[in-house]
Amino acid sequence: MVALLGVVLLAIAFTDLPICPAAATFGVPCPGCGLTRATVAALHGHPLDALRLHPLVFVITPFFGVVAARGLLAFVRGAGPRPQSRLGRALDRLIGVWALAGTALLIGVWAARFAGYFGGPVPVETFRDWMSSHVEPEVHHVSVPNDVVLPLDR
């Protein structure tokens, strides 16, 4: 399964397939559209570019970092129910509140972008657009002398 995922990721990396399935299928950007590019810009030291790509980059990206770190810690500790400390329970509550607030903010910014705020909606490419620009249709050319009357010409 991991090898299959690796092959798919390599195929995406070495082609210019549209990566976001929601945007490619429906033709509209999803609420998180631009977050990956914004995170990369922030990590490269370009905070203004990051904010231009997605205004919630400094709210949502740290959330994913905390959740990923928490999941990694649970994986390293091993599976199975463990009694949680007071700090662990508080962190779980904080993550839940952060997730709800982040989702509400993402949807709010998404709607605001469609109204023209925050630079407007992120331009996306659908699979149909991608296919039409990368796959040439097969065209058959038939030479017909000028004096021949075809049934459709009558």
Model confidence band, residue 3 (pLDDT cutoffs 50, 70, 90): confident
Question: What's residue 138's pLDDT?
Answer: 60
Question: What's residue 154's pLDDT?
Answer: 46
**How far apart are the C-alpha atoms of 106 and 109, rounded to whole Å?**
5
Question: Do 38 and 54 contact (CB within 8 A), yes or no?
Answer: yes
Q: Provide the whole-model pTM.
A: 0.65
**Rounded to a whole number, what is the distance in angstroms from the first to the last CA of the chain?**
61
